[in-house]
């Protein structure tokens, strides 16, 4: 293999898997600065970063479209805080879970309507909703009866006297073979998002919109295989182009 091909291969590997190398680098820095690694320490980081990791997966899809969402942290505070209130009222884990999913969907829907429907800039919309969601979470916590928010003045707390509290606590802190439950959920969600973004039409459209919003939105591809290429019929500038089969456009 010539030096040029080696350089091209290295560049291609770095371009496709740079995030893995960055993660390994961060992990090495952590190992050096913490005087060595322990399995318990790694799993503890895994448990505490699971929630942020799951949020980052959805945020990643948003970034692929060329947009941004500044409100995800405030949305977590709002939905998480109200979910605590619902749990303290009902004592039911399933109802709390369904409320959290619905609450997150509603907050995201509001952002989506303003950005996608009204076509306001995502930065402005999510900056505003970031402040709104955070303010609502803080105001409600300070003004509702203390028994509903666990007695805290600025922090939502679950009522430890509820019968299902220990079960709920185990869901967040339990482990399987020393691997936290929430870490397993993160792994499952990561695999699901990888599949969605790389192997579905929806995922390919996200990449297309991120590269060229106008072209990605207007294109309708009907590909005819031709050895190593496909003929793509598209309503934009790529009409009837011969494109390699491994290109995203050919499988939209």
Residue 48 pLDDT greater than 70, yes or no: yes
pLDDT value at position 100? 94
Residue 246 pLDDT greater than 80, yes or no: no
Q: Is the distance from CB of 73 to CB of 130 less than 8 angstroms?
A: yes
Going by the DSSP 8-state scheme, the letter that residue 249 receives in this structure is G
Residue 243 pLDDT greater than 70, yes or no: no
Query: What's the pLDDT tens digit per position in 78-103?
Result: 999 999 999 999 989 999 999 999 99
Q: What's the Rg (C-alpha) of the chain?
A: 23
| Distance, CA of 30 to chain centre | 24
User: Band of the pLDDT at 239, cuts 50, 70, 90?
Assistant: very low
Range 51-81 burial, b when 16+ CB lie within 10 A, else e: eebbbebeeebbebbebbbbbbebbbbbbeb
Residue 104 pLDDT greater than 90, yes or no: yes
Residue 221 pLDDT greater than 60, yes or no: no
* Rounded-to-integer distance, Cα 107 and Cα 83, Å: 14
pLDDT value at position 215? 52
User: Band of the pLDDT at 128, cuts 50, 70, 90?
Assistant: very high
The burial of 196, by beta-carbon neighbours within 10 Å (0-12 exposed, 13-18 middle, 19 or more buried), is given as middle
Query: What's the pLDDT tens digit per position in 156-211?
Result: 888 888 888 998 888 888 888 888 999 899 999 999 998 998 888 888 888 777 65
Residue 223 pLDDT greater than 60, yes or no: no
Evaluate the CA torsion angle 15, 20, 21, 26 in order and state its sign: positive
* Rounded-to-integer distance, Cα 251 and Cα 25, Å: 34
pLDDT value at position 98? 95
More confident residue, 237 or 165: 165
* Rounded-to-integer distance, Cα 141 and Cα 77, Å: 11
Q: Is the distance from CB of 148 to CB of 88 less than 8 angstroms?
A: yes
pLDDT value at position 241? 43
Residues 6+ apart with CB under 8 A from 18: none
């Amino acid at each position: 293999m010539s030096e040029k091909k080696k350089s091209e291969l290295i560049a291609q590997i770095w371009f496709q898997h740079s995030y893995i190398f960055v993660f390994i680098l961060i992990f090495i820095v952590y190992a050096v600065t913490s005087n060595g690694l322990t399995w318990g320490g790694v799993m503890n980081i895994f448990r505490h970063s699971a929630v942020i990791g799951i949020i980052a997966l959805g945020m990643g899809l948003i970034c692929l479209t060329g947009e941004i969402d500044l409100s995800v942290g405030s949305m977590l505070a709002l939905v998480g805080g109200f979910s605590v209130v619902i749990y303290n009222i009902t004592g039911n884990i399933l109802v709390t879970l369904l409320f959290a999913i619905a609450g997150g969907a509603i907050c995201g829907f509001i952002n989506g309507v303003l950005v996608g429907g009204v076509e306001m800039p995502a930065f402005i919309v999510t900056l505003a909703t970031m402040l709104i969601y955070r303010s609502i979470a803080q105001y409600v916590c300070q003004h509702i009866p203390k028994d509903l928010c666990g007695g805290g003045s600025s922090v939502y707390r679950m009522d430890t006297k509820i019968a299902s509290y220990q079960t709920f606590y185990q869901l967040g802190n339990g482990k399987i073979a020393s691997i936290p439950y929430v870490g397993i959920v993160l792994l499952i969600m990561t695999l699901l998002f990888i599949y969605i973004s790389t192997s579905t039409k929806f995922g390919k459209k996200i990449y297309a919109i991120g590269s060229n919003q106008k072209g990605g939105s207007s294109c309708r591809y009907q590909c005819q295989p031709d050895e190593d290429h496909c003929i793509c019929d598209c309503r934009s500038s790529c009409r009837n182009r011969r494109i390699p089969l491994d290109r995203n456009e050919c499988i939209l």
